[in-house]
Amino acid sequence: MKILSVNAGSSSLKFTLIEMPEKVTIASGLFEKIGIEGSFYTIKYNGEKITKEVPMEDHSVAVQKLMDELIELNIISSFDEIEGVGHRLVHGGPDFTKTVILTDEVIEKLTENIDLAPLHNPGSITGMKAFMKVLPNVVQTVVFDTAFHSTMKETEYLYPVPYEWYEKYKVRKYGFHGTSHRFINKTISEYFERNDLKIISCHIGNGGSVTAIDSGKVVDTSMGFTPLAGIMMGTRSGDIDPSILEYVSKKTGESLSELTNDLNKKSGLLGVSGVSSDSRDVETAAEEGNERAILAQEIYARKIANYIAMYNNLLNGADVICLTAGVGENSKKMRKMIIEHIASLGVKIDDARNDCRGEFRLISAENSKIPVYVVPTNEELMIAIDTMELAQKKN
Ligand code: ADP
């Protein structure tokens, strides 16, 4: 069966068409600048890439174009061949603890909670409505980035702030990247043929989060009420002292939202290095002797290592550490730096094993106290698996 995995933003729509249960990607693509002048799309299929510039005034037009293009490229012969559409949603709020079938009631509930994720959720909801309009008879699901973290206990998800903030305004830790961490949990548990593993899953991409998992359930995760918390990221600060905001605001006259934007977009690797948010550029600059790039890498590795050490304590000793996403899967240097900073846990890298990119691999030494694996993530596939399962249950 063919399943579409969809990730819609306010002006974009990313898709992957996957043949299930074979898990084969048939086509993928991106629609950009929807509703803005100069809208275009790119579709990758059969090793080829097509790009077309066409006006798309809203997401429904983009979805219609996508479906027409799938027919024109002979990828499908009719819309009926699409047997499921899975939508990624960044924030499910406190009410959604697993993937659900998309209905009008679900849309209503999501709309009620829209101010929990004002930057991300509106675009995704627009995408869902567009697919419901163009493919009214196809099973559609919503896969939440927050859902996997819903097993956290109050001791982990409550902030030590006035309790009314939680009661009245739903201020608590939600955690993100849940679909990726769930995929890592599934992959490594299947590999070890165990469902009782204590895992520290490190998703280190442009965004980044570390998650402690015990027997398939999240115990704690580094992102918080929003994806700004936790480890240092490409452009996000991660954890900082919140008083800095008022202090800097008095100095610069910037508003709270301007400063929050600085913490989201101008901090992290970019902020410290002054070079780039892309870890490859920072790596190159560091190799050329750029002092701030060297410092940025050092802080980056330490922040991640500190979370791993903290979660090792929380789990009372992890069975395995997994590294994933752009940096985790590809950067030998950063992996080595992170692992060197958790030497106190008895973790040791094997340089020859670490000489790899984008593949499932053990990279720790034989005598490492905790094994470390690179596990490539695949959020689109996780979405397709959930959607296939729900579609099969429904039919
Ligand atoms: P996101 O999905 O959060 O946008 P990704 O998981 O794609 O991000 O990760 C992007 C990051 O991965 C970038 O910082 C990029 O530099 C880094 N990355 C990708 N390939 C490499 C590589 N070969 N070496 C070092 N870093 C890499």
Catalytic residue list: 145
**Whether residue 327 has its Cβ less than 6 Å from ligand 1:** yes
Only one residue has tokens 């803005």, namely 36
Contacts of 192 (CB under 8 A, 6+ apart): 319, 320
Q: Residue 365 corresponds to which tokens in the numbers above?
A: 């030494």
- pLDDT, residue 118, reads 83
Q: What is the DSSP string of 133-170?
A: HH-TTS-EEEEETTGGGGG--HHHH--SS-HHHHHHH-
Taking CA atoms only, the protein residue closest to ligand 1 atom 4 is: 206
- pLDDT, residue 57, reads 92
Question: Within 13 Å, how many C-alpha atoms sit on residue 153's CB side?
Answer: 5
Only one residue has tokens 């991640």, namely 304
Separation between Cα atoms, residue 89 and residue 72, nearest integer Å: 29
**Whether residue 208 has its Cβ less than 6 Å from ligand 1:** no
Angle formed at CA 67 by CA 64 and CA 69, multiple of 5 degrees: 105
Closest listed residue to residue 56, CA positions, set 41, 44, 72? 41
Span from the CA of 374 to the centroid of ligand 1 (angstroms): 14
**Whether residue 207 has its Cβ less than 6 Å from ligand 1:** yes
Q: Do 102 and 127 touch, CB atoms closer than 8 A?
A: no
Sheet holding 320-324, edge to edge: 217-221, 208-214, 198-204, 320-324, 372-374, 361-362
Which residues of the chain fall short of a pLDDT of 70?
A: none
Strands 140-144 and 82-89: parallel
80 has which bridge partners?
Answer: none
Separation between Cα atoms, residue 271 and residue 254, nearest integer Å: 17
Taking CA atoms only, the protein residue closest to ligand 1 atom 1 is: 206
Other CB atoms within 10 A of residue 294 CB:
16
320 has which bridge partners?
Answer: 199
- pLDDT, residue 113, reads 87
Span from the CA of 205 to the centroid of ligand 1 (angstroms): 5
Count of residues making up the chain: 395
**Whether residue 297 has its Cβ less than 6 Å from ligand 1:** no
Contacts of 345 (CB under 8 A, 6+ apart): 308, 309, 312, 369, 370
Q: Residue 361 corresponds to which tokens in the numbers above?
A: 């691999």
Span from the CA of 277 to the centroid of ligand 1 (angstroms): 10
Separation between Cα atoms, residue 232 and residue 133, nearest integer Å: 40
**Whether residue 227 has its Cβ less than 6 Å from ligand 1:** no
Give the position, in ligand 1's atom list, of the atom nearest the Cα of 357.
23
Span from the CA of 157 to the centroid of ligand 1 (angstroms): 28
Closest listed residue to residue 156, CA positions, set 228, 90, 98, 222? 222
* H helix or E strand, kind and range, residue 338: helix 332-340
CA dihedral (134, 60, 148, 117) in degrees, to 10, reads: -150
Closest listed residue to residue 45, CA positions, set 79, 9, 19, 10? 19
**Whether residue 325 has its Cβ less than 6 Å from ligand 1:** yes
Which amino acid type is present at position 136?
P
Taking CA atoms only, the protein residue closest to ligand 1 atom 24 is: 331
- pLDDT, residue 277, reads 96
Q: Do 114 and 65 touch, CB atoms closer than 8 A?
A: no
Q: Do 387 and 87 touch, CB atoms closer than 8 A?
A: no
Region of residue 199 (phi > 0: left; psi between -120 and 50: alpha; otherwise: beta): beta
Span from the CA of 199 to the centroid of ligand 1 (angstroms): 22
Q: Measured in whole angstroms, how far is the alpha carbon of residue 77 from the centre of its chain? A: 33
